Structure formats: C-alpha cells, structure tokens
A and B are shown apart, each in its own frame.
Chain A
Amino acid sequence: MRNDNQIKLKKKIHLSRTYRRLKVDRVSQNLYLFLWVIPFLIIFLYTYSIITFFLTDLAYFSLLPYLSMDEMGKVYSDFLPYFGGVYHLTLPDVVAPDNRFIAANMIFSLIIFLVCVSGRRSGHPLSIFVSMAVFIHMVSCIYFIFAPDYFPYTNSDYSELYIKQQVGIWLSFLSISGLITAFLGIGSIFRRIQTFIAIMLYSFSFGIIRYIVFLFILSKVSVLYMALMFFSFGPFFDFLYLVYIYGLYVEKVISVSESQEGKGVWEWS
C-alpha cells in the first residue's frame, strides 16, 4: 500500500514543455562560481606570465630540431597592467617570399576560390568560409607582391601577437565557460567542474600545439601564411571545442532531466 507521501507527490500536474522551467539552485551556483570559477580566474591572471614562460620553453624545445639555438630566444613583453607581461619566443627574421612562390599561392588560392563559388558549392557555408580564408590569403599575397618591405611583422612579432591573443582566449574562455556552467547548468557541481576543466585543458593543449605548429610554418615554410593563420585558424576555431564540450554537458543534463531521476529538477510556470 502506498504511503501518504507518495500520494502527495501526485498533487503536481506535470505540464508540457511550454511553461516548465528548471529549479534554481543558488547555493551550488554560487559555490561553484565563488569557490571554483573566480579563484581559477584570479589564479590564472596572476600566473599567465609563468604559464607563457613554460609554454615558450615547450615551443623552444619542440622547435630545436628544426631551428638552431642561436636563432631562438625568450623575451618578455608587457601585456595587462597589474598582472604582468607575457613571455614569447623570438625567431629568425623574415625573408620575404619570392614572387614565384607568391604567384603559385595566388593561383592556387584563385582556383580554390573559383571552385568554392561555382556550381552547387556556391553559397554553401563551408564554401563561404573557405572563400573568406582564401580572400585573406590573397590579400596577403598582394601585399607581399607590392609592398614586401613594409610588412610590419617579424616572426618574433607574430609570436608575441599569438601569445597575447592566446592569453586573451584563455581569459575569455575561463569567463565564458565559467558563466555558462554556473548559470546555465544544473545538477552536480562535479559535472560542471568536469566540463570546465575539459574546456580549459583542451584550450591549453590546443593553444600550445597551435603555437608550435604556426611558428614552425612561419619559420620553415613562409611568412606569407601569417595572416591566414591569424584570422582563419585563430579564435574562431577555439569556440568550436568550447561549444562541443558544453554540448556534451548539456546532453547529459537533458538525459538526466528527462529521466525519472530528473523529475525533481523541474518547476512549473
């Protein structure tokens, strides 16, 4: 026989998706935000100099088989006031690409561009993305044809640019992933922390590997690709894994909230 408590539960009418909402758990939201996200952010602000120090070391040793020790160095540049600067690797000076190499790039870019804008591919999101990337690359090619001496960056400049941008990405991602898991998440703090750590681990790994690969390309292939790498394979791609890992978290939230176990997460209207 049922007890009275079981009957009491039936007093609720379980409404449809139209006006249901999730219960706010302010305690766990605040605990997570103030004891995890904000401390993490503060620690990062005071340690990004050290992080870039080690990152530069890592890049140095990874590039050592391809560049001599004399060609590389580690320097410190100012970045955010109060929190300090960043370390980055210095690399050999840029030699402007020769015209044949630029022309080959131009022709190749043009072919890709034509492929993207012709036939059924025209107007497809991927084609538009590639067209825009190719456009940036063509601008770069034209620049190097007409004004190679005025190109404002050395490889070392780019290295500095990259590190500053990467620290910007980490700061933004710490804030964005902290906010979305704190305020747009439900359920255990553990799962939120898991998501947060996964995003940041991915971000650190991706940022470091990309740095080494980009420096390698610039030093060993051509500086011509600098703009393409900066604009097309920069922060835009970082958002992809942020969205994906958050998606995995939301997927879990949906599974729980739609199960018998998760009925308690809902409130009505």
Chain B
Amino acid sequence: MGMVLAVLKGYFIFSIVIILIYAFRHFIFAYNRAFGRQRLFYNDIIASDMPTISILIPMHNEEKVLKFALESLLECDYDRDRMEIIPINDNSKDKTKEMLDEYHSRYHFIRPLHRDCSNRGKPAGLNDAMKTARGEIIIVFDADYRPAKNMLNQLALAFLDPEVGAVMGRVIPYNTDKNLLTRLLNLERSGGYQADQQARYNLRLIPQYGGTVGGFRKSLMLESGGFDTAVLAEDTELTFRLYINGWKVVYANSAECYEEVPETWAVRAKQVRRWSRGHNSVCFRYIIPTILTKNMYPREKIDGILLLLVYAMPFMLALALLDSLALFFLGEMNVWSGWFVLLFVGAYNTYGNFAPFYEISSALIIDGVKKDVLLLPLLTFNFYFYLWNVSLGFLDAMVDLVSRRKVKWDKTVRFTEESGQVV
C-alpha cells in the first residue's frame, strides 16, 4: 500500500511540474509576441528569380467550393510560367472531376490529378501529385481556402533561404459569426498563430508546418519517401522529419488566409480526436530521434519535445485528476490540498488548442480584436472537452502503436456551401 501511495503521490507531483513547465513556456511565448523584437520574415525581399511552384489542392466532393480556391489562385501575382496548380480529385462522387477538367481546358497550368483508387486520403494524394509535379516547391491549400493575391509569393520567398525546408502561413477563420463554437475557435486560432507560432519563429524554436497554407521542398519529401500514409498528422510528421534532418520550418505571419472552422461540437470533437491520434503517433515515432539528433539546438530539442507531448498532456492531466481522486479517497489529500490548485493551471494550458488565456489575450491585443476577449471564461468547459477527446485520440494512437492497425483518413465536414460569400 505504501508503494502505491508513493507512486500516486509521485505522479501527482510530476503532473504539476509538467503543467507548470507548459504554463511557463506559454507565458514566455505570450510575452515575446506582445513585447519582444519580432523576427523579420522574408517578405521584404523582391526577387525576379523565384522558384517554380506546384500548388496542390486535395479535394473530395468539392464541387461547391473549388471554384473559389481556383479563382483566387488565378488572381495571385505569381509568374504563371513558374507555377502550376494540381487539384487532387480524390475519389469524388460529385461534379468535381468535370469542373476541374473544364478549368484544365481553359488554363494549361491547372493540371488536375484524378484518383480513383482505394488508397484514399491526403498523404496518399499528395504523394501521387508530387510525382507528377514540376515545381521545386510544393504549396498546399485546402479546397475551401481563398489565398490572397500575394500569398504564393510570400510563401515561395522563404525558399530562397537554403535552410528552409517548409513554410507555414496564418489561417484566419471566416465563419466566426455562426455560433459560440466558431467564436471560441476564432480566439484559439488567434492565440495559436498570432502568439504561439510567431513567438516560436521569433525565438528560433519550432514553428509548426500546419499541412495547408504552407509549402515545402519537393526534393526533400521525395528523397525521404514522401508522406507516410499511415500517419494522420502528416504536417507534424513533416515538421519533425525536417528538423531532425537539419532543415527549418519558418512561419509567415503576414501570409494570411481564410479558412472554415467546424460549426458543431461533434465535428470539432472528431477533428481534435483525429489530430490527437495523428500527433501522438508522430510523438511515439519522433521523440527519441528528436532527443538524439545532432541537427537541432538544445532550445529546439526542448521545444520539440514539449511540442510532441502537447497532445499527450490532456491524457496525463486526466490521469492526474483520477490520481487525485484516488488520493482523496485514500485519505491522502490533506498534504496536497494546497497544491491541488496548481493541477488546474493545466486547464488553462488547454485553452485555445493549448494556448492559455494570457497567450490568447496577447494575440487579441496585437490583432486589435475588441470585445471577444470577454468570451474567454466561456472557453472554460473546453478544458473537459479537450481532456476527453484528446485523451481518446491518445488512446487511439496507443492502440495503433500496439496493434499496428491501419489508419483511415477522414475529411472534416464542410459547412459553408458558398465560400464566395465570405469577406
């Protein structure tokens, strides 16, 4: 019994320490973004010799939205001789194929890739498209995104730097007025990009490639065997694959692009669970290589480890709460009651996709978003929401690891039928 109690108490202390480390990390990020010197991105560069780019747009039944993405891309100010657009029609059952073929007949540089095979999913589609892509740089957008005129230029500029392996832009939700969830997700995105990603770029840590509104060097991916179709978080996987091999990911805060965020809790739950499952499987695979690699600075390793563990945290926190429940009923809570409060600091690390309230506040000040900061208390219950769904994703990843089962790609449900109404 004494041994059990020691383990329970040890885990309790361990959890509090980890939680405080994350809280401190995000405090540094919030402070750096609000007051620190901002690291210059490459967008002051004007160069006539830009790299050739292939824009890949994974699509599955996108007849209602694809025209907005394609029309926006056609408006972009990138030299058309140096770009091509490859919409990846992944087993669509609607009129996506016909519409894409029609675009192809009008614009030779729009070259759709029609996939009609059992191997569905974003990573598999990207792999097939990369084999036919002519550009040195691959830029990925989702079908409902509407890139601004200078977006391609901003993203491609980063690759003039020979060390940059991938670049990530900022996504901004456009369907914020739908309901409370979309309002809250807007806060999360603000904290996650304006503060978290930019601070990591400033501090030369690990800004994360997010899988869309970003790009990477094709050669690096092809040399290392393309995307792993067994991984749901291909973006996180790419980030760590690059860092471990001595490449960097950079964040372009000025490369802003609208996106649609989930409008129902059910869809959000599914999305978060999938992210957690994918992220944790990347964590299992890359945590040791991250520690051992000689290509990363210690500061990058520390940030990398914390980043890899971020989706394991809610599970650890759930265990800590069960742990404290056990300690309570075993009559051992007396000693810990003063510190019990610190366990809930963790609750505030899960605010905004793990951006605590003060990080979101910093982002909102920088973004100049009035009033919405008062919605912060309503994010409270997200703690339990994330605790549950992210923990389920963690358990999924554990089962994947043990059983070596094959993962199935699932597209996030779209809500906006006419993205053109946006803005």
B256 to chain A, nearest CB (A): 8
Residue contact A183 to B368, C-beta cutoff 8 Å: no
Given A21-B366, A22-B35, A184-B362, does the pair A227, B329 have CB atoms closer than 8 Å? yes
B324-368 contacts to A (CB < 8 Å): 324-325, 328-331, 333-334, 337-345, 347-348, 357-358, 361-362, 364-368
* Contact partner, A21, options B35, B337, B341, Cβ 8 Å: B35
CA distance A36 to B321 in the complex (A): 34
Chain A residues with a Cβ closer than 8 Å to the other chain, count: 64
A144 to chain B, nearest CB (A): 10
Residue contact A247 to B254, C-beta cutoff 8 Å: no
Residue contact B374 to A244, C-beta cutoff 8 Å: yes
Residue contact A169 to B341, C-beta cutoff 8 Å: yes
B221 in the interface, Cβ–Cβ < 8 Å? no
B99 in the interface, Cβ–Cβ < 8 Å? no
Which of A96-104, A125-133, A211-219 contacts its partner?
Answer: A125-133
Residue contact B325 to A18, C-beta cutoff 8 Å: no
- The residues of A that contact B40 with a CB separation of less than 8 Å are 19, 269
Query: Is chain B's interface secondary structure helix, strand, loop, or mixed overall?
Result: helix
- The residues of A that contact B348 with a CB separation of less than 8 Å are 239, 243
B420 in the interface, Cβ–Cβ < 8 Å? no
A198 to chain B, nearest CB (A): 14
Given A227-B329, A235-B340, A257-B368, does the pair A251, B373 have CB atoms closer than 8 Å? yes
Residue contact B381 to A231, C-beta cutoff 8 Å: no
B105 to chain A, nearest CB (A): 38
Residue contact A235 to B380, C-beta cutoff 8 Å: no
Which of A64-72, A106-114, A152-160 contacts its partner?
Answer: A152-160
B212 in the interface, Cβ–Cβ < 8 Å? no
Residue contact A167 to B338, C-beta cutoff 8 Å: yes
B404 in the interface, Cβ–Cβ < 8 Å? no
Residue contact A240 to B381, C-beta cutoff 8 Å: no
Interface string of A120-147 (1 = CB under 8 A from B): 0001111011001000100100010000
Residue contact A161 to B380, C-beta cutoff 8 Å: no
- CB closest chain-A residue, reference B357: A243
B179 to chain A, nearest CB (A): 12
* Contact partner, B338, options A21, A165, A239, A254, Cβ 8 Å: A165
Residue contact B337 to A240, C-beta cutoff 8 Å: no
Residue contact A160 to B344, C-beta cutoff 8 Å: no
CA distance A184 to B27 in the complex (A): 9
Residue contact B329 to A165, C-beta cutoff 8 Å: no
A238-269 contacts to B (CB < 8 Å): 238-241, 243-244, 246-248, 250-251, 253-255, 257-258, 269
17 A-B residue pairings within 8 Å (CB atoms): A19-B40, A22-B34, A22-B366, A80-B338, A125-B382, A125-B384, A157-B334, A161-B337, A162-B337, A165-B338, A167-B338, A168-B340, A184-B31, A234-B344, A243-B380, A246-B361, A257-B368
Not counting A168-B340, A239-B344, A239-B347, a sample of 12 additional A-B residue pairs whose C-beta atoms are within 8 angstroms of each other reads A125-B265, A125-B385, A139-B329, A152-B330, A172-B341, A183-B27, A184-B358, A231-B328, A236-B347, A239-B348, A246-B357, A251-B374
Q: Interface of A with B (CB < 8 Å)?
A: 16-24, 79-80, 123-126, 128-129, 132, 136, 139, 143, 151-153, 157, 160-162, 164-165, 167-169, 171-172, 176, 179-180, 183-184, 186, 227, 230-231, 234-236, 238-241, 243-244, 246-248, 250-251, 253-255, 257-258, 269
Q: Interface of B with A (CB < 8 Å)?
A: 27, 30-31, 33-38, 40-41, 194, 253-254, 256, 265-266, 269, 321, 324-325, 328-331, 333-334, 337-345, 347-348, 357-358, 361-362, 364-371, 373-377, 379-385, 387-389
